[in-house]
Amino acid sequence: MSLPDDSRYLKGGPVAQRIIAAVRRDAEEARADGFPPKLVSITVGDVAAVDVYVRNQRAKAALAGIDFEERRFPADLTAAELEAAIQGMNADPRITGIIVQRPVPVHIPIKAIQAAIHPLKDVEGMHPASIGNIVYNQLDLAPCTAAASVELLKETGLDLKGLEVVVVGHSEIVGKPIAFLLMSEGATVTVCHHMTRSVAAHARRADALFVAVGKPRLIKADMVKPGAAVIDIGINTEIGPDGKERIVGDVDTDSVKDVASWITPVPGGVGPLTVAILLRNTMVALNRQRDLYRATYGVADSGVRLAAE
C-alpha cells in the first residue's frame, strides 16, 4: 500500500491546534479566576537538541495564553545549586509548572532532579509519583512525548483493544511510558531495546509500530507489516544533501511510506503534539493546585493576580 497523497500522514499540527485552542480557553478562565498559568523551563548548558523544543514551547505558550519563562544555567552548575533553584520554584505560588530540559550535564543526576520537582508542579509527568499514576491507569497527566505518540495513533481510528503494538526503545521518558499508556488502552504490547535479538522479527508483526531510539533510518520497509501504523518519535539532526542541517526521525520514511497505511512525518508529526500536551499538562497541574488551594484555605483566589496588579 502506498501513500498516493498526504492523507495517510499522521500530522501532529492539526491535533496540536485543537489542543492549544482548548488550553487557551482553560487558561483564560483560570487567569480571570486569579490563577494565571505560568510554565518555567530550566536548561543547563547549551544543547542544540533542546533549543528547538524550548523555542516551540515559548511560541505555543504565547498562543495558549500561558506565561513562559526560560531559566538558563551554566553547564558547571552543581546538582545542589539546581535543586535549590527548583525548591525556590516549588515554593513560588506564581509558578504553575516546571520542566527540566534533557539532557543535563553528566555530573547532575537527572533522577534526583526529576524527583525534586513538586509532584503538583511536575508538568512532564516524570516524578516517580507521576509515573506511578500511569501504572495505575490514571492517565490525565502523562509524559508529553508518550502521550503525543499514543494520541496520534488514536487519530487512525484503529481500535486499541487487543491491537498488536511493538515499541522500539525503552527509555524512561518515551518508550516505557508509551508501553504503559498502550496497556491501559488494552493493546498487546511488546517492548524492544538494544538487547532484543531481532527487532525486525518483532516489528514485522506489529499493527502499530512506535520507534523511539535516536538512530536515523533504523526502521526500513522490510521491517514493517503492510498496512501498519508507524509512529516515528525520533528527532535527529543531520546534514542534508544541500549541506544544511535538517531534522529526521528514526524511520526510513521514503521506503516505509509505501508499506504502511499511516506514518508520522518528521518534522510535523509527534514533535508539535508534544509541545501542545506539555501546555495541556500545565493546565491539569493548575487545576490540581487550584483544588488544593481552595480545599486548604477555603478562599476563592490565590492572591497572585492581586499582588501583580
Ligand X SMILES: NC(=O)C1=CN([C@@H]2O[C@H](COP(=O)(O)OP(=O)(O)OC[C@H]3O[C@@H](n4cnc5c(N)ncnc54)[C@H](OP(=O)(O)O)[C@@H]3O)[C@@H](O)[C@H]2O)C=CC1
Ligand Y SMILES: Nc1nc(=O)c2c([nH]1)NC[C@@H]1CN(c3ccc(C(=O)N[C@@H](CCC(=O)O)C(=O)O)cc3)C=[N+]21
Binding site listing for NADP(+): 169-171, 235
**What DSSP character marks residue 279?**
H
Please report how close the Cβ of residue 177 comes to ligand Y at its closest, in angstroms.
11
Among 56, 90, 171, 236, binds ligand Y (CB under 6 A): 56
Main-chain dihedrals φ then ψ at residue 67, nearest 5 degrees: -65, 145
Interface mask (CB under 6 A) for ligand Y, residues 90-129, using x and -? Answer: ---------xxxx---------------------x-----
- Radius of gyration of the chain from its Cα atoms, rounded to whole angstroms: 20
**Grid cell locating 113:** 532532579
Which is closer to ligand X, CB of 274 or CB of 289? 274
Decide: residue 240, CB within 10 A, 0-12 exposed, 13-18 middle, 19+ buried.
exposed
Decide: residue 268, CB within 10 A, 0-12 exposed, 13-18 middle, 19+ buried.
middle
Please report how close the Cβ of residue 290 comes to ligand X at its closest, in angstroms.
28
Which is closer to ligand Y, CB of 45 or CB of 268? 268
Position of minimal CB gap to ligand X: 171
Among 252, 272, 302, 304, binds ligand Y (CB under 6 A): 272
56 binds, among ligand X, ligand Y, none (CB under 5 to 8 A by kind): ligand Y
Position of minimal CB gap to ligand Y: 271
Q: Which residues contact 218 (CB under 8 A, 6 or more apart)?
A: 168, 211, 234, 250, 251, 252
Please report how close the Cβ of residue 258 comes to ligand X at its closest, in angstroms.
23
Q: Which residues contact 152 (CB under 8 A, 6 or more apart)?
A: 10, 12, 15, 231, 264, 269, 270, 273
Bridge-based pairing of strands 245-248 and 236-239 is antiparallel
Which is closer to ligand X, CB of 97 or CB of 234? 234
Give the residue from 167, 166, 188 showing the smallest Cα distance to 176: 167
Cα-based distances in Å from 60 to 21, 54, 162, 192: 10, 10, 35, 33
124 binds, among ligand X, ligand Y, none (CB under 5 to 8 A by kind): ligand Y
Which is closer to ligand Y, CB of 36 or CB of 269? 269
Residues 219-238 that bind ligand Y (CB under 6 A): 235
Residues that bind ligand Y (CB under 6 A): 49-50, 52-53, 56, 99-102, 124, 144-145, 235, 247, 266-268, 271-272, 274-275
